[in-house]
Structure 1
Amino acid sequence: MTSIRSRLLTILIASTGLVWLFAVAWIYVSTQAEVERVLDARLTEAARMVNSLLAERRIELAALAGDDELPATEFQTEGPSYERQLSCQIWSLDGRLVGRSEHAPDGRLTEAGSGFSESVVGGETWRVYAIENPALGVRVMVGDSIAVRDRLVGDVVKGLAIPAVLILPFLAAVIWVSVRRGMSPLDRMAQSLSSRPATDLRPLADDNLPEEIAPAVRALNGLFQRVEDVRDREKSFTAFAAHELKTPLAGLKTQAQVALASKDGEVHENALRQIAAGVDRTSRLVRQLLDLAAVEAGDRTPEMQEASPVEIVRQVAGELPFAGERVRIEGGPAPSARFDPVLLALSLRNLLENALTHSDGPVLVSARKAVGAVEILVEDEGPGIPVDELPRATDRFFRGRAKSASGSGLGLAIAKEAVARMNGTLTLENRKPRGLAAALSIPAVE
C-alpha cells in the first residue's frame, strides 16, 4: 500500500532537487553569457587604452626604429589563478612583433585586421579584440584565454553547487519533519477511529482542523449519522415487526388449541376460519415487511421507463384476490409518465389493499396531468384518517384510532418510500363527506 507521507516526501525532495538543478543550469548559462559580455567589454577597453597610449606617445615603439625587442608592457589581473587572463600584443602592419605583455604568447594572437575573433595559439583558444592604427602603422591585439573564461564560470557555478549539495540533506530533513507534522492530524484521527468500539458512532471533533482534512471529517461525521439512522431504523423495524408478528401468531396458536379441544363442529369450523384469516394476515404482514426492507435498502437502482401508468394499475388490480369489481379505473388514456414498473406496482398494490381494507364500497383509480407530473389518484369511501393523524399516517407501523384488525400500519409507509425512489411524492387527503384520496405524483414525460 502506497503511503501518502512517502509519496509527498518523494515529490517534495525530487522537485526541490530539480529546482536546484535547473537553477544551477540557468545560473551557468546566464553567468557564462554575462562573463563573456563583461570580458569582451574589457578586451575592447584594454585595446583602446593601449592604442590611445601609443597615439599619445606614452609607450615608446623602439622596435619600429630597429630594436629587436621592447620592454614588456603588463596587462594582467592580480591573483595567481587568473594572472594570465589578459594578454596584449602590438604588431607592425608589415608583420613584426613590436611589443607584448608579460604573459602574452609568442605566436600571433589573431590574423583578423580589427574587431573580435577567436584563434588557436600554442594549442590554446583565445578570444581577441584587435585595433588597427594606420597612422602609427601598428595593430593592437588584446585577448584572453577561453579556458580561463570557462574556469571562471566553472568556479562561480561550483561556488553555488557545493553549498546546494551540502544543503540538500538538511533541506530533506526539514521537509520530512514538516510533512510529519503536517500529517499529524490524520494520524490523530486514525488513532481516534481505531480505538473506538463498533457501537461508538459519535461525530469526530471538527474544531480547528486544517482545510484539507475538514471535508473528510465532515464526510465521516455524515456517514456516522447515516449509519446511526439506519441502525436506529433497523432496531425500530425489528421491534415493531416482532410486536406485530407476536399478535397474529398468538391468535393462531389460540385458535388451533380451540379447534383441537372442541368437539362442536361449528366451533371447530369457526376456529379453522380464524386460523385461515390469521394466516392471511400474517402472510400479508411478512410480505409487507419484506417489501419495506427491500425498498428502504436501496440496493436496486430504479429502472425508469416512459409509458402510461394505467396498465400497471390494471395489472395490480387483477392480481388482488379480493378486489373483484370494486376497483374501477376512470378516465380515458392517461398521459405518459416516467416510472419504475416494480416500484409503481408496489406502491399501487399497498394503496389499493389499504383502500379495500378500510372501505366496503368501490375504489376509484384515475390518472391526470399536473404541472411537470402525472398524478394517480386512489379514492375510497372509508372513514378516512383523522386530521391530527394525517402527518403520521405514512409512518411505519402507525395504525391510528381507526385501525383495522387486518392492518399492520405498513401499507402507506411502503407506498411513500417506493414512490420517493422514483422522485415522486405521496399525498393523503380526506374526501367529503367521507373517504380518503391518496395521490401518487410521478414525473411526466415532457
Structure 2
Amino acid sequence: MSHILATYARFPVTLVRGEGTRVWDDGGKEYLDFCSGIAVNTLGHSPKCLVDAITRQAATLIHCCNLYGIPQQEDLARVIVEDHVRIPGKVFFSNSGAESNDGLIKSARRFGHARPQPNGSPRYEILSFSQSFHGRTLGGISATGQDKVKEGFEPLPTGFRHLPFNDLAALEAAIAPETVAILLEPVQGEGGVIPATPEFLRGAKALCEKHDLLLLLDEVQVGFGRCGDTMAWREIAPEVEPDGISWAKGMGGGFPIGSFWLSDRTVDGGKTALSSLMGPGSHGTTYGGSPLACAASLAVLKEVLSDGIQQNVTERARQIRDTIAAWDHPLVTEVRGLGLLIGIGLDVSKMNIPEGKLPSIHLSALLLEAGLLAPPAGPHTLRLLPPLNVTETEVAQALELVRTSLDQCLSSPANPAGGVRG
C-alpha cells in the first residue's frame, strides 16, 4: 500500500535512471524522453555542467537564509536580467512556478495600491484567459482559466476574470476601473499549446499603456530557450516590453528553482521604479534562491546562451514540423507551438479509443509502451517537449514512434466512425 497522497493519475512506469535524452525504468526498459519532466530537463538528464555545478556548490554551502547576502543570487540575477531579459529590472527567487506567479499577483496588488482608482480605492483585478494555467496554489488556480482545477476549493480569492485568448476586442471591453494587470502565457502549454498571436501581444501591451496596467507574462513552461529565443515573448513580438515575468521549470534543468522579474521602469512620472514597490517585508521565502539552487540554474542558463543551443531548437523544431507535415496523417489536424514546445492536434472523430479514455492520454499510453515519453496537453493534443540539445537522430526515432502509434489509433474497419466511446 502506498503512503503517497493520490493527487496524480500516474502512467504505469517507475523511472530510476536518466542520461541525456533517455531514461530507464525499474525493469531496465529504455525510453526516449520527450516529456523532459514537463519542460524541466532543459539539457536532458544529468548533463555534466549541471552535475558539476551542484557537486561543487554542495561541498561548499547548500543553504543560507535570505537574511544574509548570497553571491550566487547576485550572479544568477545579473545573467537573467542582462543576458536573457535584456531589460533593466530586479529578480526574486522562489522554488516553483506557482510561487513565482503568486509573486506577480502580489506585485500587481501592490501596484494597484500605489496607482489606485480615481476615487482612491486600490485597483486589484487581474485579467487572464480561458485555458490558461498559472499553478495550483489558491492564487494560481484563481488566475487559471480552467474550471477543473478549481472544483472543490471554493470560495476562491476574488479579483480575477477570464477572457477568450487572442481576442483583443474582448480584452479591451473587459477593462474596468478596478483592473490592474493582464496576465498571460506567451504559449498556453497545459491549455493545448496555443501561442499568443503577435497582434494580441502587441495589443495587450498597448492597452496596458493606455490604461496604466501591468503586462505580466507567465513563462514558467516556455522561458529560457524552450521556444527558440531565451524569452518566449520575443519569438512572438520582440518589441513588446513586459512589466513582470515568472519562470521555473527549465531554469534549473531539473533542480527546483523559480523566479519572477519586475521592470525598473518608473510608475509615477519618474520617481518610483515598479521593482521598488516590493520592498523589505513585502515577500519572502525560506528556501528560494539558495546557493545550491542558484549555482545549478546559473550553469543551465549559461549553457542555454552558448553556441548552438538556440540554433538546435530552431532546426529540430523545423524537423518535427516538416516530418509530420510529410506524413499527411488523417489523425493530425495541425502542429502548434513555438520552438520545442510542440502540440500535435488530434482528430478524435477518426480515432478508435477504448471506453472511458481521453484521446491524448490514450496516445501517450501507447507511446509509453513503444518507448517514448510524451505527455498530453488537454484532451485533444499530444505534447512534445524534448531537451533543447536533442539530436536529429533522436527526433527521427521519436517521430517514427509517434507515427506508428497514431496508426494504431486509426479507426478499424469494424468501427469506421471512430470517436471516443463511452
Report TM bin, short chain.
under 0.3
Which is bigger in relative contact order (C-alpha 8 A, separation at least 6)? 2
Could you say which structure has the larger radius of gyration?
A: 1
